[in-house]
Amino acid sequence: MQSTLVGLSITGSFQRDTNILFSDISFELKQGCWTCLLGPSGVGKSTLLRLLAGLSTGGQFDGQIRTNPEFIATDTDVNQGANNIANVISYMAQTDLLFPWLDVRQNIMLGQRLRHENNTAHYSKKTVDRLIDQVGLGAHEYKRPHQLSGGMRQRVALARTLMEDQPIVLLDEPFSALDARTRDDMQSLAFDVLKDKTVLLVTHDPTEAVRLAHHLFVMTHDGIHSHQTPPNLPPRSVEHPKTLTAQATLLRVLKS
Amino acid sequence: MTSDTPVSKQKINVRDLAVSVLIILIGWQLVVWVTEVPRYILPGPLAVAEALFKYSDLLAMHAWVTAIEVVVGLIFGTLLGMATAMYLTMSATATRYMMPILVISQTVPVFALAPILTLWFGYGLGSKIAMTILIIYFPVASSFLDGLRATPKGFLDLAQSMRATKFNTLIRVRLPAALPSLSSGIRLATVYAPIGAIIGEWVGASQGLGYLMLLANGRVKIDLMFAALVTLCIFTLLLRAVTNALCNRLDHWAGQSH
């Protein structure tokens, strides 16, 4: 059953130089659901996501970002500062961002490497084994990124995101650079492995949004508006008439 | 050999090299025979080869000294350059105050400092090593710094979202990503380093190939001078081969060449 708890919410305005990217938006992610934010390129979707991820945006945000306080309490390094958003999110970008000098296993364990967490090595090893299995990279765990195809690389990136084991996952068009078939596989895989998380997927692809969203928002230059999703639960079949109708409606909204 | 490989990274084909060297040697010998240049102006390759054998012990002894100066200078200059680049990457304040000095310091002809270095560090190895360090420090520091600053932004975002500290980001993200830049800096330094040592020896020394060349020149033993020059060339080529192999391994590890 879908939760009504709020995992993450943001209210406020954002401007870069004198250019107001969005003003007085109010937008929330329901806990344990996939929320898709659909919009054309250049409308500020990625900036919004970077803001939520606590990354530099080169602009001025005036407002509030709140996460479910329970998330903070379960986090291990509370002393890092409870209001640090990086403590509860993991982030996956459009490019896989695999480090070329690390193999698949080491790339998946990147977070541990970067935080110097060697004391949990045994636990980590077992988790990595499980994740490699989950994303279907069993035969490739000691390969370097350049030996992998685009789809496989994005699987490694997904496993690395899961390895962080954070309650909130922010996805910045992670499937847009893949070919159609690989994208379809990756969407199903990601939906499956991230089903307990509070997910925000930023995308410019109506098909992707309709396929995966529990909750759907459309971002245009006028702001962010909630949008109806088909009544059945995601992941929806691409060729289902209701999916296709919803997709057509969304395209119209994007064009207007 | 493809034309898009940078000249500094081009591999030398030994057979092609042998052919062109042979052609040059034959041409050189012919010029000497035809024009009958006196031996104290331009000795022919045969005379130089003769000197190489005749003075082989002497040449080896002086080459050894120069080799130590170059290799030690290269190692310390590289380490110093790396440390500077990493420090400048970490501290914005340091960059603000040190960068102008660094850039301006490059307008000082380093060779002009050789007499001062000899005064400070004496006639021994010290002043030559100092000269070598000075000459390679900037190329290494600047190319490594460029590399450290050019870390893909996505890598840094990812590191930040994973709560990596600034220091860990430097060591585990920026540094490995900058290794290819470092290795091109080292390749450049390898070419410069012998120049530093030789200049140092010219200004004041009691051993080394540069010293031997001046000595031979003074005594009109031009064949010995050329023999020292050839020895220096061979040493530089060997050094280049070794650093190239090391740098290639570095690039390979960093995932730059496959």
Q: Between A86, A97, A101, which is nearest B253 by CB?
A: A101
Interacting residues of A50 by C-beta distance below 8 A, sequence separation 6+:
A56, A57, A172, B157
CA neighbor of A175 nearest in space, from A161, A195, A196, A164: A161
Interacting residues of A225 by C-beta distance below 8 A, sequence separation 6+:
A217, A218
Angle at B151 between CA B148 and CA B154, to 5 degrees: 155
Report the pLDDT value the prediction gives residue A79, as an integer from 0 to 100: 42
Q: How far is B71 from chain A (nearest CA, A)?
A: 28
Contact B164 A93 (CB under 8 A): no
CA neighbor of A24 nearest in space, from A56, A63, A66: A63
DSSP-based three-state secondary structure for A193: helix
Q: From chain B, which residues contact A within 8 Å (Cβ)?
A: 152, 154-155, 157-164, 168-169, 172-173, 176-177, 179, 253-256, 258
Band of pLDDT at residue B226, cut at 50, 70 and 90 = very high
Question: Long-range contacts for B216-222 (Cβ within 8 Å, ≥24 apart)?
Answer: B220/B40, B221/B51, B222/B39, B222/B40, B222/B41, B222/B42, B222/B43
Q: What is the CA radius of gyration of chain B?
A: 22
CA neighbor of A101 nearest in space, from A55, A147, A145: A145
Q: Indicate the residue type of B26.
A: I
The pTM assigned to this predicted structure is 0.86
Per-residue pLDDT tens digits for A70-116: 775 444 444 444 446 778 899 999 899 999 999 999 999 999 889 88
What sign has the CA pseudo-torsion A155, A160, A166, A168?
Answer: negative
Contact B157 A93 (CB under 8 A): yes
Cβ contacts of A97 on chain B, cutoff 8 Å? 152, 154-155, 158
Q: How far is B230 from chain A (nearest CA, A)?
A: 40
CA neighbor of A213 nearest in space, from A225, A194, A199: A199
Per-residue pLDDT tens digits for B37-74: 888 889 999 999 999 999 999 999 999 999 999 999 99
Q: Where are the alpha helices (DSSP H) in chain A?
A: 45-53, 69-74, 104-108, 110-115, 121-134, 150-163, 180-193, 206-212, 241-255
Contact B168 A115 (CB under 8 A): yes
Contact B258 A80 (CB under 8 A): no
Contact B161 A53 (CB under 8 A): yes
Question: Long-range contacts for A235-239 (Cβ within 8 Å, ≥24 apart)?
Answer: A235/A187, A235/A188, A235/A191, A235/A211, A236/A210, A236/A211, A236/A212, A238/A184, A238/A207, A238/A211
Interatomic CA distance for residues A67 and A6, integer angstroms: 8
CB B250 within 8 A of CB B75: no
Cβ contacts of A110 on chain B, cutoff 8 Å? 158, 162
How is residue A215 written in tokens? 């909750």
Q: What is the CA radius of gyration of chain A?
A: 18
How is residue A91 written in tokens? 């982030």
State the average pLDDT over residues A235-254.
Answer: 87
Spatial strand order of the sheet with A60-67 comes to A19-30, A6-16, A60-67
Per-residue pLDDT tens digits for A32-62: 999 999 998 888 888 889 988 888 888 888 8
Q: From chain A, which residues contact B within 8 Å (Cβ)?
A: 50, 53-55, 77, 80, 84, 86-87, 89-91, 93, 95, 97, 99-101, 110-111, 113-116, 144-146, 164
